[in-house]
Amino acid sequence: MDQSQELTNTLVKKIKHISKSEIVQIKQAIDFAKGAHRNQTRMSGEPYYHHSLQTAITLADMKMDAASIIAGILHDTLEDTDVVSDEIQNKFSPEILQLVDGVTKVSQIRLKNLPESTEETNKQKQLESLRKLFLAMAKDLRVVIIKLADRLHNVQTLQYIPTDKQTRIAEETMEIYVPLANRAGLWHIKSQLEDNCFKYLFPQDYLRLYSVVRGQTRQEKKYIERVTKKISAELKESKIKNFKIDGRTKNLYSIYIKTLRQNKSVDQIYDIYAVRIITSTLKDCYTALGVIHSLWKPIPGRFKDFIAVPKPNGYQSLHTSVFALDGQKLEIQIRTEAMHHHAEYGVAAHWLYKEKDKSRNEFNWVKELSRIKDIDLSRLEDEIKIDLFEDRIFVYTPKGEVKDLPIGSTPIDFAYSVHTDIGHHLIGAKVNQKIVTLDYKLANGDIVEILTSKTSPGPKRQWLDISQTNFAKSKIRSFFKKINQTEHKKTGEKILNDDLASLNLPKIKDIPSPKIKTLIKSLPYKNIEDIFVAISNGDVSSKKIIKKIFPESEIFRQKIVKRTKKTSAPASILFGHNQRLSYKLSTQCCQPRYPEPIIGYITRGQGISVHLLKCKNTIHKDPNRLLIAHWKETKDYQYYTSLEIKCQDRVGMLHDISEVIMRANINLIEISVMQKTSKYVKIKITINVKDLDQLTSVIKSISNIPGVESAKKI
Ligand code: MN
């Protein structure tokens, strides 16, 4: 059988989840692509459409829908052949045309489009913009996934292309595609992309690691075979049916990063021998675990039950490590087929399955992005206010519908994202079937159930502080706007005056009128009454108003303490995509100091050393071993300020106060009793805070301690 036929057969075998009529379409697509690419070959010498088939096979592995698989087969026809859009639309469907068109468009996003920039932090920003641009143009998450499958086959065949191009493509993949795969939860694709690029970016390290980890030596392979055989026999004995055992392949690049991060050698990274057991039922997972533990002695502290308690991203599996044959340490993962699919393909797996569920096109960020037309790269940062790339979470309704929210979102945001009425009538929430408070921060994979009541009086003002999305906030505000205006004026003035008093500032009516005039000019309100209303209905916070009237330096007066060099925490350094890795500052040649531009260099055997970007020593070094690095800024001064706390004289009061301060990570300088009567005690504390926000939040926390009557700045 020739290779073309073999590839087609492989694809057909993998599309059992697709209906018969659509399989006919898939076969038509193969013929169509074969015809369109008939005169083209890949660098490897193979017919070009083999690449189309390989892309489709990856998509079939992920159990993508028929439209995605067909678009995968056709993905290069628009750009590289004389096929025109109408042909695809007529022969297949408008949906498929849209996908192919999307893939063609995002293919034009290249690393080389980056403007020349010497500053590394600038480069990071530009990269981020490129990734966002990618998402913006993709519109449909399926386009991203098809493009990833395409890129995967391209990096798998890098050996056939010229050397200078190899590095460029590998770099581009690491900078743009790997983060996208990570973002979409396609971990299997991510690790394959990484390992294939790793080979070209750090060839020597790759080879060294490869020889150790992949265990190409006969002994290692034999060992896994022996272990697999033994487990297999024991599982059969215990009447477990239809299981699979894989000698697990490792993500080499992640091991590499681990060795760098922990500054360890490969053999010190512990879990190299590993197998995975995939069972057909949940019950079998635990039976298999029992079998393993009675067969070999478990290593204490290494057993983890992620089935009963899944990881925040929904990952489920049993993990254990045992002393297996010959006393060798062996890591074992046990999970069902469905858990396995989720582990490999992440959140995407959940909805990709569902053929008829068109809600997948309604991911909020895709919608948000599709509104943006004629994207100008330099303006992109401003256009997209929320970070769409890494700061999103996926959570589920009890019916399994996926909601896409920014990180830090609470049940309130979730409720409003379902429906405004649900939000307005919200009285409580359950996450993963447990009651939670409304300020609970949702995590990836959470199942959120909103409890409502028809008799609920509506949202509370504090929800504005708890909610994260602008959508929820605006709905809550518009609810308050309907309430009576006179009431609003009074409430707003009181909120503002209370906050002013807590900072030892005069009441609003006692503030000199020029200051008030400047304030009103700087805001879109006609007079101070309108500002009161705005405060009350949540349009503007009283803190913001106070900041506008009094600059921080005026509130704290001159009490700025420069931290001395000795006590200040050294500014830390982040690498690549904000990774924390252990590093040493070079002392021999350039001695980098904050905030000079820097670069990381991966030394052989001594982790990362950090040099100045302009350091001559790095210029001649192997560019493949250089790492993007930048300083994480830390403010180098704090305000010195004192608070007066009026409270009951009860046991543990001082302890409670100091605990609140410690928890807020605030430096407590002094605490003393100012005045004591039979009814109450006045305590003075002196603290260092970094800004007004930190001060107001600590005042609020102290006021909430039972027995505290008031807390204010003096
Ligand atoms: Mn391609």
Per-residue confidence band for 354, with pLDDT thresholds at 50, 70 and 90: very low
Tokens linked to 346: 């992440």
CA atoms of 714 and 708, how far apart (whole Å): 16
- pLDDT greater than 70 at residue 16: yes
CA of 253 to the centre of ligand 1 (A): 24
Q: For 25-29, what is the mean pLDDT? A: 95
- pLDDT greater than 50 at residue 379: no
CA atoms of 384 and 132, how far apart (whole Å): 9
- pLDDT greater than 90 at residue 245: yes
88 contact partners, CB below 8 Å, separation of at least 6: 74, 77, 78, 96, 97, 100
| Count of other CB atoms within 10 angstroms of residue 585 | 15
Per-residue confidence band for 320, with pLDDT thresholds at 50, 70 and 90: very high
Per-residue confidence band for 102, with pLDDT thresholds at 50, 70 and 90: confident
* Range from 281-295, 311-325, 393-407 carrying the lowest mean pLDDT: 393-407
Tokens linked to 652: 């543990």
CA of 338 to the centre of ligand 1 (A): 30
CA of 49 to the centre of ligand 1 (A): 9
CA of 99 to the centre of ligand 1 (A): 13
**Size (the chain), residues:** 714
Residue 556 pLDDT: 77
CA of 367 to the centre of ligand 1 (A): 26
DSSP assignment string, 525-573: -SSHHHHHHHHHTTSS-HHHHHHHHS-HHHHSTT-EEEPPTTTSPPPEE
For 33-76, write each residue's pLDDT tens digit.
Answer: 999 999 899 998 999 999 999 999 999 988 888 999 999 999 99
CA atoms of 693 and 698, how far apart (whole Å): 9
CA of 572 to the centre of ligand 1 (A): 41
User: 491-496 — which CB contacts under 8 Å span 24+ positions?
Assistant: 491/532, 491/535, 491/536, 492/531, 492/532, 492/533, 492/534, 492/535, 492/536, 492/537, 492/542, 493/532, 495/535, 495/536, 495/542, 496/532, 496/535, 496/542, 496/545, 496/546
* Angstrom distances, CA of residue 653 to CA of 645, 646, 665, 682, 708: 11, 11, 19, 11, 9
Residue 465 pLDDT: 87
What is the tally of helices (H) and strands (E) in the chain?
31, 21
CA of 130 to the centre of ligand 1 (A): 19
Q: For 507-529, what is the mean pLDDT? A: 86
Give the DSSP H/E element, type plus range, for residue 165. helix 163-172
For 142-191, write each residue's pLDDT tens digit.
Answer: 888 899 999 999 999 999 988 888 988 998 899 888 887 876 667 789 99
CA of 345 to the centre of ligand 1 (A): 21
Mean of per-residue pLDDT scores for the chain: 80
In one-letter notation, the amino acid at residue 714 is I
* Range from 43-52, 244-253, 438-447, 630-639 carrying the lowest mean pLDDT: 630-639
- pLDDT greater than 60 at residue 284: yes
- pLDDT greater than 50 at residue 194: yes
Q: For 460-475, what is the mean pLDDT? A: 88
Residue 561 pLDDT: 56
Per-residue confidence band for 603, with pLDDT thresholds at 50, 70 and 90: confident
For 408-433, write each residue's pLDDT tens digit.
Answer: 899 999 999 989 999 999 989 998 77
Place of tokens 């993905």: 75
- pLDDT greater than 70 at residue 370: no
| Count of other CB atoms within 10 angstroms of residue 420 | 16
DSSP state of 162: -
Cα–Cα nearest to 628, from 578, 665, 675, 664: 578
CA of 78 to the centre of ligand 1 (A): 11
Catalytic residue ranges: 79-80
Residue 244 pLDDT: 93
Q: Give the best-scoring range by mean pLDDT among 409-413, 499-503, 519-523, 565-569.
A: 409-413
90 contact partners, CB below 8 Å, separation of at least 6: none
Per-residue confidence band for 122, with pLDDT thresholds at 50, 70 and 90: low
Portion of the chain with pLDDT greater than 90, in percent: 27
Residue 628 pLDDT: 75
CA of 146 to the centre of ligand 1 (A): 9
555 φ/ψ sector (left φ>0, alpha ψ -120 to 50, else beta): alpha
- pLDDT greater than 60 at residue 374: no
- pLDDT greater than 90 at residue 352: no
CA of 160 to the centre of ligand 1 (A): 15
Instruction: Provide the 3-class DSSP secondary structure of residue 113.
Output: helix
